[in-house]
Structure 1
Amino acid sequence: MERRKRVEMIMNSRLFREELERIIEIQMKDGSGATLLQSISDMMGLQGQKLQSTNLFRSSNCVAPINDIRGVESMGYAKGEKILRCKVAAVYRLMDLYGWTQNIQNHITARLNVDEEIFLVNPHGLLYNEITASSLVKVDMRGDIIESGTTNFGVNTATFSMHAAIHAARPDLKAIVHVHTPAVVAVSSLKVGLLPLSRESVVLGEISTHPFTGYSRGDEEKEKIVRNLGPNNKVLFLSNNGAVCCGETVEEAFYNVYNLVAACEAQLKLMPVGIDNLVLIPEDVRKEIYDSSRICPEGAIPGPNGPSPAVLEKKDKKWRIGGMEFEALMRMLDNAGFRTGYIYRTPLIKGDPPRPRNDVEVPPAVSSLGYLLEEEEMYRNGWKGRKSNDRTRWLNSPNVYQKVEILETGTTDPKKITKVETLISSSNQNF
């Protein structure tokens, strides 16, 4: 309603109409209407709202929703599959918005469940900004399609085989992201690898390296990849071919991608000064930073109006690695109209907003906290009421307030008026 009133006020403004007519007349004379919308935006004072450092809104205002599984369609998926599809599709969109894609190349895969070797992968042929939850393809360990999704595209089995080998050797990893940005490729080509120069490089933990020779080597190449990744590491550099970031959850996998890209970009900016001039983070500090990144920060603890500890324990509200950051990014996408379908653990709006009070319910003076605490303690000890001979104590004032209805005066047709009167107790008139 407020927006509608504002639009009506602007459209009824004579100065606005005259300025708009002048701009249109100039554009018609010049024969170019490309900058018409920009001129109107400048006139309305919207130029300060442009996003210069991100590609988030470089496309049209209408975006394909990430969660395009609606109604009866969701009944055809296994338990938890719809949520996983939405998360994986959201990671594809984030990769595109950050500019970390290479056309239709690379993969982001996610294990559907631990019992069965079934995975979700992108259809080969779609851009990352076209991928939705329903378009993801369900495949087995060999890359054979179990469910093709909502597109006619298949799966690039040659590149998926590397993900399948890691999934088979590391059942603890649920999601794998192959990142191939120029910065990551450049660092993967260095003999020194990724140096501990920033916090982002330290929170990744131990990083493995594999001399990648291509996908055509078959089983021999896959065995070497698994062996070089090791039983615990979650980031693997592929020499001259970027890196593979893994995670026990989709959130952790993207968390590793984000920090890896930031660490590689920071290292490339420092390399021109020479490796000898670089100050590396000491080993003891590295361990402290890594350990602190694996625990829930103090700011993540709910406030006094949040759920009780028993409810938190029941719902397993403990944040996983990268979970809080991922939820913040989901809010960003939802606010931009992407409709992620993400289920938030900590909504921005409280469930029970404070109840409004009127002036009559709230006394005009501040209550005595000590007296309230004394009353509470007496009640706990079995006190049910005050004896008649007790001295009367007042919480705020000796006055009592009540609503009364009176008739108007000075008119032939009086109406009832509600007013608040102050009643003074006879025992306290000398106050």
Structure 2
Amino acid sequence: MAKPDYMDEQEWQARCQLAALYRLIAYYKMTDLIDTHISLRLPHEPAHFLINRYGVTFEKMKASDLVKIDHDGKIVESFDEGKMVNVAGFVIHSALHHARADINCVIHTHTADGIAVSAQEQGLLPLSQHALKFYNNIAYHEYEGIAFSLEERDRLVADMGHYRCMILRNHGLLATGNHIARAFHEIYFLERACQIQVKAMSGGNLHFPKTTICEYTVQQFESPMAEPIIQAAWQAALSQIEDLQTDYCQ
């Protein structure tokens, strides 16, 4: 669909990409009714980012449902007025976008397996290749109640440190990226790692890879060769919903 006359091309393309990501999170069953959220910093307006209109389910998200807000949570454009934004979503996302210039996309989920692992004292275990992507490479943040308090932002940022992903204790998962494809890749692997852990712990004795292998594998995931794979995975995922493009890009 062609962009509306009142919007510049860069913002419209960002909205279409983010709407597609919402649809993919629904496609891979990582939704929680109308809760959880994904945000994307506008590339040509670094002080502004897009987030979902609260109340629209992810599988029905469209480019026009997204809301442009600033770091104070204020709606920027008149054409977005009247759209409701989740306060907790603003608190979590604004903290990271404001503190880290390298974070352009933030994904937050409440999946059953993600919450289950977040409630386990040992956190994410190195039980699978998916989990080794995060070996000594993930942050943790203690639960402080529903994230309405702006005071929690500093603690969240401090706990996040230099990592891209975080397990929110007794709450869910958080994944970020310098671009939308990276953030999607991170949440997909993190969610799959949690699914595997929950299944593995329901069985017999666990087998762990050697520490040297764990350290080697996470370095493989962080190598420059990972970027083209991440982009290819994003395009492959988009192909799963390509028949919906004329719908979500509205």
Partner of 1:103: 33
Which structure has the highest helix share of the two? Answer: 2
Q: Does 1:338 align with 2:245?
A: yes
Deviation at 1:197, TM superposition (A): 0.8
- How far apart, in 2, do the equivalents of 1:138 and 1:115 lie? 10
Which structure is richer in relative contact order (CA contacts within 8 A, separation 6 or more)?
2
- How far apart, in 2, do the equivalents of 1:101 and 1:269 lie? 20
| One-letter identity of the residue aligned with 1:338 | Q
Deviation at 1:333, TM superposition (A): 1.5
Q: Tell me the alpha carbon deviations over residues 140-170 of structure 1, each in whole angstroms, 9 at most, x when there is no partner.
A: 0011111265784321223311110111111
TM-score by length of 1: 0.53
Over 3 Å counting, the alpha-carbon distance change for 1:320 and 1:109 in structure 2 is: farther
Q: Tell me the alpha carbon deviations over residues 168-226 of structure 1, each in whole angstroms, 9 at most, x when there is no partner.
A: 11110100000110000000001000001111111235111111112456233111111
Aligned 8 A contact 2:24 2:238 in 1: no
Partner of 2:211: 283
Alignment partner of 2:125 out of 195, 206, 213: 195
Partner of 1:220: 151
Deviation at 1:124, TM superposition (A): 0.7
Instruction: Indicate the RMSD between aligned Cα atoms, in angstroms.
Output: 2.3
Deviation at 1:321, TM superposition (A): 6.1
Q: What does residue range 226-305 of structure 1 map to in structure 2 within 5 Å?
A: 226-230=157-161, 232-273=162-203, 277-293=205-221, 294-296=223-225
TM-score by length of 2: 0.89
Q: Tell me the alpha carbon deviations over residues 340-398 of structure 1, each in whole angstroms, 9 at most, x when there is no partner.
A: 899xxxxxxxxxxxxxxxxxxxxxxxxxxxxxxxxxxxxxxxxxxxxxxxxxxxxxxxx
| One-letter identity of the residue aligned with 1:192 | Q
| One-letter identity of the residue aligned with 2:179 | T
For residue 181 of structure 2, give the secondary structure of its aligned residue in structure 1: helix
User: Number of residues paired by the alignment?
Assistant: 247
Alignment partner of 2:59 out of 129, 137, 143: 129
Aligned 8 A contact 2:19 2:248 in 1: no
Partner of 1:9: none
Structure 1 segments of 4 or more deviating over 4 A?
148-152
- How far apart, in 2, do the equivalents of 1:329 and 1:216 lie? 31
Alignment partner of 1:325 out of 212, 221, 233: 233
Identity of aligned residues (%): 31
Q: Give unmatched runs, 5+ long, in structure 1.
A: 1-67, 298-318, 343-431
Aligned 8 A contact 1:148 1:154 in 2: no
For residue 15 of structure 2, give the secondary structure of its aligned residue in structure 1: helix
Aligned 8 A contact 1:108 1:177 in 2: yes
Q: Give unmatched runs, 5+ long, in structure 2.
A: none
| One-letter identity of the residue aligned with 1:142 | D
